[in-house]
Amino acid sequence: MTDLSGARLGSSCSFFRACDRAVFHTVHQIGVDAVELIWRPDNLSEVLNDPYCATKIRETAAEEGVELWSVHLPFSEELDISSENREQREHILKINRHIIQVGAEAGVKAIVLHPSSEPITDKERPRRLELSRDAIVSLNGLCRELGLTLAVENLPRTCLCNRSSEMVELLRGTGASVCFDFNHSLYEDNAAFLASLIDSDLTVATVHISDYDLVNERHRLPGDGINDWKRLLGMLSAADYCGPLMYEIARKPFERDEIIPVQLAENMRLLRAGKI
């Protein structure tokens, strides 16, 4: 059993809306250890067209004293690995492979992947699952070559992996691990969802921590929602989770005031100490 009271604290760069020196400096100043890099569809040119992107990020993070833990691959309906359009899917995989290479050169440990976008109808779901699995196997092969862990994320609504049984079936035999998002399970209790994955011998390699209302994803601070954090972190501990407590919080969550960095960091410390 892993003791999470000493776990590293992390934040997605999505909270700061950038992946640069100013962000890394702020992260270090507020006592956060690690970050997850993410490039949105509207700023992908930064990572796709700059041959020095990885070097710049690696050196800047080291100078600011921040661990580069993971890269979240871009996601949108146009960047869906389960797309039934062959040319589009091949283009998406090419983009993902490039970003995985950048992540490896930058020194990250994990790659986070959405298994699909949405909407997905019941009729097309079997084919989309098949295409997603093929892409996961392919991308996981590259990650293994580069010494990285591919972590597939559970998703909400009509996306693939919106139920634990589907996620287990999709990932079984692929070699991929899990990124468990505590804000995405809308059809099962989070504890039941997580237990199903763990009991199926899938490895939870990284997490996205935020709270919600079981109506939709909200990306609120832990304690501002329905999650039983003591129980959930206890499950991670029992499963020997060794990654950071990686937050994925909206800067201004739905129906909430804007969160500032020091509030984010204080919430992290309270969660780690078992006070939420």
Please compute the mean of the pLDDT values over residues 113-130 and round it to a whole number: 98
Distances 37 to 13, 84, 108 between C-alpha atoms, Å? 6, 28, 9
Strand-strand pairing, 110-113 and 177-181: unpaired
Quote the domain boundaries for residue 99. 4-272
Q: CB count, 10 Å around CB of 126?
A: 9
What share of the chain in percent tops pLDDT 70?
100
Q: CB count, 10 Å around CB of 85?
A: 11
- Cα–Cα distance between 153 and 93 in angstroms, integer? 17
In this structure, what CATH number is given to the domain that contains residue 120? 3.20.20.150
Query: How does pLDDT run across 197-238, given as a tens digit for each residue?
Result: 999 999 999 999 999 999 999 999 999 999 999 999 999 999
Per-residue model confidence (pLDDT) at position 14: 97
What does DSSP assign to residue 84? Answer: S
Q: pTM for this structure?
A: 0.97
* pLDDT score of 156 more than 90: yes
Beta strands in the chain (DSSP E): 9-12, 34-38, 67-72, 110-113, 149-153, 177-181, 204-208, 245-247
Query: How does pLDDT run across 8-66, given as a tens digit for each residue?
Result: 999 999 999 999 999 999 999 999 999 999 998 878 988 999 999 999 999 999 999 99
**Of 114, 120, 21, nearest to 75 (Cα)?**
114
* pLDDT score of 71 more than 90: yes
Per-residue model confidence (pLDDT) at position 1: 78
Strand-strand pairing, 110-113 and 67-72: parallel
* pLDDT score of 111 more than 90: yes
- Cα–Cα distance between 195 and 236 in angstroms, integer? 9
What share of the chain in percent tops pLDDT 90?
96
Tell me: cis bond preceding 115? Omega within 30 of 0 counts. Answer: no
Per-residue model confidence (pLDDT) at position 250: 98
Per-residue model confidence (pLDDT) at position 222: 98
- Cα–Cα distance between 52 and 55 in angstroms, integer? 5
Query: How many domains does the chain divide into?
Result: 1
**Of 187, 195, 194, nearest to 214 (Cα)?**
187
Tokens representing 76 are 């949108």
pLDDT band at 85 (very low <50, low <70, confident <90, very high): very high
Buried b (16+ CB within 10 A) or exposed e, 20-33: ebebbebbbebebb
**Of 108, 93, 182, 192, nearest to 149 (Cα)?**
108
pLDDT band at 256 (very low <50, low <70, confident <90, very high): very high
